[in-house]
Structure 1
Amino acid sequence: MRSLNLSILLAATALTGCTAMSASGPSARSIDSEASVKVAPAKDKAKSGVDYALVDISSTVLKYVPNVGAEGLSEGFGGGRGPIPTLPLGAGDVVQVAIFESQAGGLFIPGDAGSRPGNYITLPAQTIDRQGFISVPYAGKVPAAGKTTEQVRVDIEDRLANRAIEPQVVISIVSGVSAQVAVLGDVNTPSKIQITEAGDRILDVISKAGGLSASGEESYITLQRRGRSARVRYNMLVDKPSENIYVIPGDTLLIDRERRTYTAFGASGLNGRFDFEESNLTLSEALAKSGGLLDSRADPGQIFLYRVVTKDFLRNLGVDTSKFPTNDVPVIFRANLRDPSMFFAATKFPMQDKDVLYVTNSDAAELSKFFDLLNTTPAGTANLTGNALSTKDAIRSF
């Protein structure tokens, strides 16, 4: 009982100091007491209502951290190691048909043309219509859309076989609009790019569009194909050739810059949001960028990094993930910079976009703040009776 009274006395003394300082708004207690409705998590849940995992940074953790949130295109779309995609003709393409006969006097070559150089005729260039057909005299309407030039050539020769003298057909593409890829977003020349039979990969068409207009470190490529889409970092295409897959007609590439940032709070030299800019950051670099640790306040043994990871990451560490209902798990990574070896780990631990870095106050700093508050009390226990009641309510709230 005596210890409880002493606790109340100390708390009341501290609250007396509080009454001597001006407030910029209502107190937390008044906000809580005057609310019409209160929504709070169940008592058996964490105060925030969010379950999370605490992971101490170690050499084991470092093995798996770089793989968190890995992206890729090759698994979803393929095309990285396969053959060059074929480019069939399509509606809107302009083609030209030349027909050869083995001798004069046939269907297309008159009998008196024996002295002419070459027994062939060239038909006027024509556009494949919306139904996908071209017209060839004596062969009728020939389907072309969705077929290769070789397939159309064979079809025309078969149709003319009983009329012309050993007909041979050559088909040339004058201009193509069906074999195009749209490149949009943060490139210097957004446009539709005509792809070729030689095969064009993602980086090829980005180059034809003038290259990136933003930093490669912060650029992402979204590939849209036949109702599906996937997203990958530009640097992954450069670092992993298997991800630089072939494009096919009708693909859309959207290049966008995503500003990578992290936030720093607590006993660091600077608080706020910080840009990665054009480089990747490690934990040690992020701490330095945010002003390092304050000697007078920070606890170097309690550096926390907040991040959402997948269950696979925790399973690799041998963690039971059954307690987490979704695949995304909130994780707090802890670094103890009192351990000299942790500085080496901090130089290898990669930061990720939207990480939250928090540096806690040391126990000595909290104690110093308490005594500073006592020293600012003008009259000691002048309002002890009134503050004791407030202290009683505060204790009940715990």
Structure 2
Amino acid sequence: MTFHRRQALMCGVSALLALSGCQTLPRSGPDDAVIRDNATLYFAADEKKPLTNYVLVDLTEPVLSYFPKAQRQSFRSGFGATRKGPPDLPLGVGDVVEVTLFESAAGGLFIPAEAGTRPGNFITLPRQVIDTNGYISVPYAGLIPAVGRTTEQVQDIIVQRLADRAIEPQAVINLIESRSSEISVLGDVNSPAKLAINPGGEKVLDALSRAGGISAPSAETSITLQRNGTTATVLFDDLIANPRENIFVYPGDVIYANRDRRTYLAFGASGLNGRIDFEDSDLTLAEAVGKAGGLLDGRADPGQVFLYRLVDPETLSAMGFPVTAKTEGGFPVIFRTNMRDPSAYFLAQRFPMQDKDILYVSNADSVELVKFLSVINSATSGTVAPIVDVAAAKTAVKVIGD
């Protein structure tokens, strides 16, 4: 209904209220005129202009090409060679190790003569932490470089150092606590923790499992992996559905689970009004209308379904709109789709929704007429009601028809 039509209807209502002698109607708060008149200062909007500039775009096939589904990131392609297999886990600073030394006979460097010759001639040194310089200490062998080496390599160095002092020495190193090969699992998980990597290798889902699993709905959860200055984010559902994305974790990785609660607002002649969760990895305009309860058969105008969104100026410029200003947060755009057209449903099923979109379904003109007649009926109840109702109905029908 145009502005002039509404203005004519309001004039009719005002005249009828005056005719019926109504002075006041029930209100739940102060009258808008009282609020306006009592204001210390009133910055009035220009009624001849919209409150803000916006672009109106009919949803068509060419328009869809400018709003494709968002490209998803990938763990598989985002971390180069480190995505392929489990990492080697050499010793590092802070690791706690235990060194056991063996000799083949008694009377050597570590085994006293009275011990005899038998299997098990060994001593175990006190546990020690690999220092910040990367060394451990072994008696008579000195400082042994350990950082960056496997336990087997460190054992060989110890044996070489003791070869001229002990009787056929052998060394065994046990890794008691790995502090250099840890990952952090944070965010929306049940038990955030810093975890030592399993030497056999473990993947992202394994790490999440050890942290108690995610605490938010899977469809709303994204997993971010930080590694060596590189960051990538994938949806948890994609991680489940595509095993190739479930890559091995490496020392120093940070895994962050985040509930990305995406919502849109629904207003007007839809079955549900208010804030509605996506609850899906992807949501299209057609699905959003369905989640909002569809179009009310007795109220909605299927030809006037609107979607409000802030669009980046670069996209609008590419579409040919003269939008050059850098608008923080985007430029206001209203997309209109005519669901009286059968083909519009195919377009709506391909148009992706975005977080914080606003869906508005307009009332049909006939609904406005019914509202008008209801007001007339309540305002003219009395002896003059039949005459006024008939006249008002004729006037309303004529206004709607114009």
TM over 0.5: yes
* Partner residue in 2 for 1:393: none
Among 129, 140, 143, the alignment partner of 1:141 is 143
Structure 2 contact 317–324 (Cα < 8 Å) conserved: no
How many corresponding residue pairs? Answer: 372
* Partner residue in 2 for 1:36: 40
Superposition pairs of residues 82-121 of structure 1, within 5 angstroms: 82-99=84-101, 116-117=118-119, 121=122
3-state SS of 2:83 partner: coil
Q: Give how far 1:342 is off.
A: 1.2
Asked if 1:128 is matched to 2:129, the reply is: yes
Cα 1:99/1:40, change in 2 over 3 Å: farther
TM-score (norm 1): 0.71
Larger RCO (CA under 8 A, 6+ residues apart): 1
Q: Give how far 1:266 is off.
A: 0.7
Structure 1 contact 97–124 (Cα < 8 Å) conserved: yes
> RMSD between aligned alpha carbons?
4.6
Structure 1 contact 96–173 (Cα < 8 Å) conserved: yes
TM-score (norm 2): 0.70
Structure 1 contact 88–149 (Cα < 8 Å) conserved: yes
1:323-367 CA distance string (max 9 Å, x none)? 343474554332210110112233344444433211112334335
* Partner residue in 2 for 1:176: 178
Among 245, 253, 256, the alignment partner of 2:255 is 253
Distance 2:158 2:227 in 1: 32
Q: Give how far 1:189 is off.
A: 5.1
Cα 1:356/1:111, change in 2 over 3 Å: same
* Partner residue in 2 for 1:343: 345
Distance 2:184 2:7 in 1: 72
Superposition pairs of residues 71-82 of structure 1, within 5 angstroms: 71-72=73-74, 81-82=83-84
Cα 1:310/1:251, change in 2 over 3 Å: farther
Structure 1 contact 222–230 (Cα < 8 Å) conserved: yes
Q: Give how far 1:183 is off.
A: 3.1
Q: List runs of 5+ in structure 2 lacking aligned partners.
A: 1-5, 385-402
Identical-residue share of aligned pairs (%) = 49
Cα 1:150/1:117, change in 2 over 3 Å: closer
Letter in 2 for 1:68: A
Asked if 1:23 is matched to 2:22, the reply is: no
Among 270, 273, 287, the alignment partner of 2:272 is 270
Structure 1 contact 84–246 (Cα < 8 Å) conserved: yes
1:89-120 CA distance string (max 9 Å, x none)? 345533233456799987557899995458x8
Letter in 1 for 2:13: A
Cα 1:318/1:11, change in 2 over 3 Å: closer
Superposition pairs of residues 1-398 of structure 1, within 5 angstroms: 12-16=11-15, 17=17, 20-38=24-42, 47-48=51-52, 52-62=54-64, 65=67, 67-68=69-70, 70-72=72-74, 81-99=83-101, 116-117=118-119, 121=122, 123-124=124-125, 126-128=127-129, 131=132, 133-145=135-147, 147-149=149-151, 152-153=154-155, 155-156=157-158, 159-160=161-162, 169-187=171-189, 190-223=192-225, 231-241=233-243, 243-277=245-279, 281-308=283-310, 322-326=324-328, 328-378=330-380
Q: List runs of 5+ in structure 1 lacking aligned partners.
A: 1-6, 381-398
